[in-house]
């Protein structure tokens, strides 16, 4: 989480590798990673051994949000290849905060499918 005491994947993995049980996994949030200017593909490679779930939503880098996909600057076009490279083949979860969730989740699914997420949504 970008505003927590372990904001980046390196800090989180260091703690989990040192103190965490092998059964503990990571829920990787692309908006969090993007907000703190991590390279999402590098971060996914770093946590692949503990990657349990991927959350998808959009944000910019000035204000932290979980917007519908396409309303921020998260590089969604690059993410399907990064997920494939680490062997992630489960469905990601949309984590969108919206006043019109039905509309915005549906629109996000369509946009993500067009960008290569079709096999996993």
Paired with 58 in beta bridges are: 67
- Closest to 45 (Cα-Cα) out of 79, 22, 21, 76: 79
What the block records as the tokens of 113 is: 């499918």
Q: Is the pLDDT of residue 120 over 60?
A: no
Instruction: Indicate whether 9 pLDDT > 70.
Output: yes
Do the domain assignments include residue 10? no
Tally of structural domains, the chain: 1
- Model pTM greater than 0.95? no
Report the DSSP beta bridge partners of residue 51: 26
CA pair distance 43, 34, nearest whole angstrom: 10
Confidence at residue 119, expressed as pLDDT on a 0 to 100 scale = 58
For residue 116, the model assigns a pLDDT of 86
Q: How far out from the chain centre does Cα 6 lie? A: 16
Percentage of the residues of the chain whose pLDDT score is greater than 90: 86
Residue 16 covered by a domain: no
Question: Is residue 91 included in any domain, yes or no?
Answer: yes
Angle (CA) 58-2-26 rounded to 5° is 85
Q: Is residue 87 part of a domain?
A: yes
Q: How far apart are CA 92 and CA 106, in angstroms?
A: 14
46, part of any domain: yes
What's residue 5's pLDDT?
A: 78
Please give the sequence-ordered ranges of beta strands (E in DSSP) within 1-121, or none if there are none: 26-29, 51-56, 93-94
Joined together, the tokens standing for residue 85 give 């490279």
13 part of a folded domain? no
Domain that holds residue 113: 33-117
The reply to whether 111 falls in a domain is yes
pLDDT in tens, 17-31: 998 898 999 999 999
């Amino acid at each position: 989480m970008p505003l927590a005491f372990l904001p980046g994947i390196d800090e989180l993995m260091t703690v989990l590798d040192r103190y965490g049980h092998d059964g503990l996994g990571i829920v990787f949030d692309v908006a969090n990673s993007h907000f703190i200017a991590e390279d999402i593909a590098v971060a996914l490679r770093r946590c692949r051994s503990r990657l349990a779930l991927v959350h998808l939503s959009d944000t910019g880098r000035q204000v932290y949000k979980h917007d519908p996909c396409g309303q921020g600057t998260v590089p969604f076009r690059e993410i399907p290849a990064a997920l494939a490279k680490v062997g992630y083949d489960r469905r990601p979860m949309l984590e969108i905060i919206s006043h019109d969730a039905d509309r915005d989740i549906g629109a996000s699914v369509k946009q993500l499918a067009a960008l290569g997420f079709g096999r996993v949504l």
